[in-house]
Amino acid sequence: MCAAESHADKIHAGKILVLDFGSQYTQLIARRIRESQVYSEIHPCDAPISFIRDFKPKGIILSGSPASVYDNKPPYCPPEILDLGVPILGICYGMQWITHQLDGRVSKSARREYGRAELVIDDATDLLNGVGDALTAQGSRPETVVWMSHGDRIDRMPPGFDVLAHTANSPIAAMRNEKRRLYAIQFHPEVAHTPQGLAILKNFLYRICGCAPTWTMKAYLERAVEQIRERVGDVDVICAMSGGVDSAVAAILTHRAIGDQLTCIFVDNGLLRNQEAERVTETFRKLFKLNLRYVDASKNFLKKLKGVTDPERKRRIIGRQFIQVFEEQAKNMGRPEFLVQGTLYPDVIESVSFKGPSATIKTHHNVGGLPTRMRFKLVEPLRELFKDEVRRLGEEMGLPEEILWRHPFPGPGLAVRIIGEVTRKRLDLLREADDIVEQEIRKADLYPQIWQAFAVLLPIKTVGVMGDERTYEHVMAIRAVHSQDGMTADWVKLPHEVLERISNRIVNEVRGINRVVYDVSSKPPSTIEWE
């Protein structure tokens, strides 16, 4: 057995399999388990039983689902999982599936139960041990708040089960078959609205499945370094750095493993934020002694974008141009064999997702588009990690907070925040305004709570008055959103004083702007970027 495998065994020891019935919270379940320092993977609910056996889980969690067991074709698991002798926790639909499968009765409840509920704990010996944080009004039973979201409910438990907890609307809100090690709950322990949810999951992991806390970023780091060394040997490796957190962490990790065998390429496409190129090159060259090539390709990008106003054409041109620059660089390095990619676990899950493919809303450009054309072998050291884990790994390696917590920035950069043609002059205007937005959001201590905050330059001119003069200048829009993953988003209710400062500074400091508007649309139906 090689060294990397022995580490792998250690940190993956006691792993949990999450079978996905299509719930919007499935990723959250896996993240909570990992927060508890236990490794977990998500797979579609209909994964073959042979795969599940080979996976050797210490425990299995069945997710929720928008479906009902009475649907025409309800999502299902191989029923043999119930006889593996491995502890199972069914959540919401997972509970209903177990009940249906084992001859209990599921029925439509008279009222949909959605939101907060008081869970009264009837048996606190294992799954619900120590989670009651108050006593019921009668003072007889412990209770805790949980978050429900279900239409169907359990009317009759399957034989051999007993009740662990109930709520006003769900007489069987948690149940157990101790002999068969089957557990099920109607509420969602994975969401923040269930304050004791993590404690309940930990009970399942530690008390019931016998897992140990082996999944830490320190252990992950040691193992990843060994694995990269083994995979790469003594050949050269190349990495496209964008300055974003994923490519930065992937590069630093690879650098730890193979030092100067790694060359990073940072392409300045002229579409970056204020001082971005300087900041990135400074940090990675000085702080981490990374072999970093800075390529100023801005002239070329802007030439290709001349006269282009269609958002999808802009995206395609930028993507193509990026590959061309990268190919040229790789060629004059003597064609390195490996490419480092910052692929994350959610991208991996997406490709085996239980849900069908969705329509293309925007052609995303990121460095992920490179290998198909260039036939590199890949080093993907973050393939097992969620974004929050990537940040923790970055912290472990001493990456500055400024890089780890920087707001996401799209591959096509400021080009998709200039509505209409991209010119150097417009880029300068936008960059200045964008910088003001960031400064003011930081001054108000709001930066870490916000997913993204930025400016968008609109192609219209409006009339204004400055001094006693009439002006006829451009409009700048401000966008700030809260989001978990960029898939959905809500606009941020920024304090009026912050908006006022941003607006004042932009019209006073950015020549050519005489009006500022605030974008109050959520996603859906809007998207986060304007193009």
| Residues at the site binding ligand XMP, with contacts judged by CB under 6 A | 362, 364-366, 408, 410-412, 452, 486, 523, 527-529
DSSP conformation class of 191? S
Among candidate residues 150, 188, 255, 474, the one labeled active-site is 188
**Which CB atom, from 174 or from 494, has the smaller least distance to ligand XMP?**
494
Helix (H, G, I), strand (E, B) or coil at 495: coil
92 is catalytic: yes
CB 252 within 8 A of CB 30: no
Question: Smallest distance from the beta carbon of 325 to ligand XMP, in angstroms?
Answer: 17
For residue 274 the two structure tokens come to 């204020």
How far apart CA 323 and CA 286 sit, in angstroms, is 27
Smallest distance from ligand XMP to CB 106, Å: 37
Do residues 82 and 124 make contact, with C-beta atoms less than 8 angstroms apart?
no
How deeply is 485 buried, as exposed, middle or buried, from its count of CB atoms within 10 A (0-12, 13-18, 19+)? exposed
Look up 264 and say whether it is catalytic: no
Q: How far is the CB of 529 from ligand XMP (least distance, A)?
A: 3
Alpha-carbon distance 150 to 111, whole Å? 9
**CA–CA gap between residue 479 and residue 490 (Å, rounded):** 10
Ramachandran region, residue 237 (left: φ > 0; alpha: ψ -120 to 50; beta: rest):
beta
Q: Which is nearer to ligand XMP, 72 or 358 (CB)?
A: 358
- Encoding tokens for residue 337? 């064999």
Residue 76 vs 451, nearer CB to ligand XMP:
451
What stretches of 233-351 adopt beta strand conformation (E)?
237-241, 262-268, 292-296, 338-340
Least Cβ distance, residue 489 to ligand XMP (angstroms) = 7
Sign of the dihedral defined by the CA atoms of residues 490, 491, 492, 495, in that order: negative
Least gap, CB of 385 to ligand XMP (angstroms): 17
- Please say which residue, 364 or 443, places its beta carbon nearer to ligand XMP: 364
- Kindly name the residue from 41, 143, 190, 384 that is annotated as catalytic: 190
CA separation, residue 403 to residues 181, 397, 400, 490 (Å) = 45, 12, 6, 24
CA distance 509 to 208: 62
Q: How far is the CB of 277 from ligand XMP (least distance, A)?
A: 17
Nearer to ligand XMP (CB atom), residue 45 or residue 271: 271
Rounded Cα distance, 156 and 509, in Å: 69
- Which residues in 90-128 are b (16+ Cβ under 10 Å) and which e? bbbbbbbbbbbbbebebeebeeebeeebebbbbbbeebb
Q: Which is nearer to ligand XMP, 223 or 314 (CB)?
A: 314
Task: Report the nearest approach of ligand XMP to the CB of residue 47 (Å).
Answer: 29
Rank residues 174 and 271 by Cβ distance to ligand XMP and give the closer one.
Answer: 271
- What does the DSSP 8-state code read for residue 285? I
Please identify, using beta-carbon distances, which residue of 501 and 523 lies nearer to ligand XMP: 523
Q: How far is CA 424 from CA 414, 429, 526, in A?
A: 11, 9, 27
State yes or no: is 531 an active-site residue. no
* CA triple 228-229-230, angle to 5 deg: 90
State the minimum distance, in angstroms, from the CB of residue 319 to ligand XMP. Answer: 8
- From the list 92, 209, 211, 239, the catalytic residue is 92
Candidates 315, 316, 301, 323; CA nearest to 375 is 323
The catalytic site residues sit at 92, 188, 190
